[in-house]
Amino acid sequence: MVADYVKQPKLAEATGGKMFILNSSNPVPLYKQLYNQIREQILSGKLAADARLPSVRDMAIELSVSRNTVDGAYQELCAEGYIYSSPRSGYFVSALDQDTAAQSPSAKPCKDDYLPGPPSNFVYDFHPARLDPESFPTELWRKCFIEGLRRNSRQLVQYGDPQGDWGLRCSIQGYLERSRGVICAPDQIIICAGLQQSLDIVSNILKESHSIVAIENPGYHLPRSVFQNNSYSIFPLPIGPGGIDLNLLKASNSTIAYVTPSHQLPLGCVMPVANRLALIEWAESGCRYIIEDDYDSELRYHGKPIPSLQGLHPTGNIIYSGTFSKLLSPALRLSYMVLPYSLLAPYRQLYRDYFPSVSLLEQRTMATFMEHGHWERHIRRMRMIYKKKHDILLRSIETHFGKQAVLIGQGAGLHVVLILPDTLQSEAEIIDRARQKSIRLFPFSEFHVAGQPEATTLLLGFGGMTGSEIEQGIAILSQLC
């Protein structure tokens, strides 16, 4: 239903003749559209200081929306200081410096279909970091956000714990123990704004006594610059069927190993328990550290997720890192890491003058989302959605590539790897030809810090595509390789 609303006389009177138009087919939530429009009228001076807004009830009736929608918009405006509430009198417009407000970019005409970031121009986007566009639980998130606002308004006038909200840390601890076999206490958990921030902190803590980090090759490309910016040397370790080459690691001077043991990025292999124990032994025998990046292990489509490496030796030198980016949203910038007790004191010493880097409101929203059981339900839902896409991708590859391609890394995560042993074309040529057909491919070569695969290899992310886009994209791609 498209329920455009044009103001009624009573509402127009209360808002100085201004009208609000909400469009339910717009992807921007209704409360946000209302928030944007009221905010724009306040910033442009059309709603004068101390003007009274219609009550939540009246506004909801006039706009034919729920009270929650209006309440959501008012709460957000209130939290940001655009309006204020007066007990038993209602909501009023705050007095703003109109000169400054008029210069604010937000004072431009409100375009409520605005979505941040350039839209992808590709019809078939195989980028591995894309999630299902319909999957964000907007309505539940909004409810948890509002609940968080209501329950925590007193905390919002303070900076909060630099290590992260205690309630969120407790929820993460319970989840990690139940689902990932990670054994830790909430005081070992640090809430971060993504893996790179976690690695930056770890690099900083360890740089007095460590200078060489072993990384997987091929491996996730983004941590490299974090280590290098902290003056570490990088030691690439080849990946075999059981993960990193442990003999080479032992022979190297590396004293930190950054690994993705439960789902190696990009090849998808799982480090067997014997290798995990050998890696732990390597760390224990020389005051060395393992950084375990457990970024998407919930997404395993057959059998149970592989338990964490940290759980094999919870008191060892293992730094465990997890994220909400792969199942919920990479835009939230919400992740966590578990430090071994031995690193907590140096962490607190180094970071005692830092403020938290993740908004308390987002942290409280996530905590509420977890407390109500939404997070674990969301994971189950996502696993079903992505399994369907994964199966379609595998079938399409079988149909269109047949024996031309060798598939690896299937059965988990949001991408697979396709080796093309017989093609004469390079990766760059295929990516270029694909681009001309509106297909986006992320270069597999980006994951290599040294050397390149013998045969042309493609990385196919499927999270952001629909089933039919996957089928058509693979059919077209097979003609180009």
Q: Quick check: 194 and 323 in contact, CB under 8 A?
A: yes
363 is a site residue for ligand PLP (CB under 6 A): no
- Sorted by sequence, the CB contacts under 8 Å of residue 285 that are 6+ apart come out as none
443 is a site residue for ligand PLP (CB under 6 A): no
Question: Which residue number places its CB atom closest to ligand PLP?
Answer: 194
Binding mask 58-87 for ligand PLP (x = CB under 6 A): ------------------------------
Pairing of strands 439-440, 124-125: parallel
CB of residue 334 vs ligand PLP: minimum separation in angstroms?
8
Using alpha carbons only, give the angle 131, 137, 138 rounded to the nearest 5 degrees. Answer: 110
Encode 73-82: b = buried (16+ Cβ within 10 Å), e = exposed: bbbbbbeeeb
265 is a site residue for ligand PLP (CB under 6 A): yes
Say how far apart CA 40 and CA 434 lie, in whole Å. Answer: 42
Which region among 87-95, 96-104, 192-200, 270-278 touches ligand PLP (by CB under 6 A)?
Answer: 192-200
Dihedral, CA atoms, 245, 417, 387, 368, nearest 10 degrees? 60
Cβ-based nearer residue to ligand PLP, 404 or 410: 410
CB of residue 316 vs ligand PLP: minimum separation in angstroms?
21
325 is a site residue for ligand PLP (CB under 6 A): yes
Which region among 191-199, 386-394, 401-409, 462-470 touches ligand PLP (by CB under 6 A)?
Answer: 191-199
Closest listed residue to residue 421, CA positions, set 405, 433, 408? 405
CB of residue 167 vs ligand PLP: minimum separation in angstroms?
20
Question: 295, 369, 375, 447: which one contacts ligand PLP (CB under 6 A)?
Answer: 295
Cβ-based nearer residue to ligand PLP, 8 or 135: 135
C-alpha separations of 197 from 58, 126, 191, 194, 322 in Å: 46, 26, 10, 6, 12
CB of residue 310 vs ligand PLP: minimum separation in angstroms?
15
Which region among 67-75, 190-198, 391-399, 471-479 touches ligand PLP (by CB under 6 A)?
Answer: 190-198
Dihedral, CA atoms, 21, 27, 30, 36, nearest 10 degrees? -70
Residues forming contacts to ligand PLP in the complex (CB under 6 A) are 129, 194-196, 220, 260, 265, 293, 295, 323, 325, 330, 335
